[in-house]
Amino acid sequence: MSRDMISDEAWAVIGPLFRNAKSTGCPPMDRRTVVEATAWRFRAGAPWWDLPERFGNGNTIYKNFNRWSERGVWARVLEKMQSLAHQCASWTG
């Protein structure tokens, strides 16, 4: 699968936030795939069941998204990305 959804640079920053986040599925899904599928879903404005096949089962992706939401993982990702954006703005401006 191409890595055009989440760049390697972005994953280096946010990937560690998912280290302790358990993934559902048999076998458990790759965390980066779940994050990329979630990004695709929100960018496209599509329902979970319309995810492209390359991401795997939409229901499994949704379960991971929901579980990580309940555990505050996405909130930490947002905080980290906002912090980086502020650092970049301060550095350039």
Share of the chain above pLDDT 90, in %: 60
Q: Answer for the pair 35, 14: CB distance below 8 angstroms, yes or no.
A: yes
The predicted structure's pLDDT at residue 92: 61
The pTM (predicted TM-score) of the whole model is 0.82
The predicted structure's pLDDT at residue 1: 46
Distance from C-alpha of 13 to C-alpha of 84, rounded to nearest angstrom: 9
Distance from C-alpha of 17 to C-alpha of 65, rounded to nearest angstrom: 14
What average pLDDT does the segment 52-78 reach?
94
The CA-CA-CA angle for residues 18, 75, 72, to 5°, reads 65
Residue reference for tokens 């458990």: 28
Tens digit of each residue's pLDDT (9 = 90 or more) over 17-43: 988 877 877 788 899 999 999 999 999
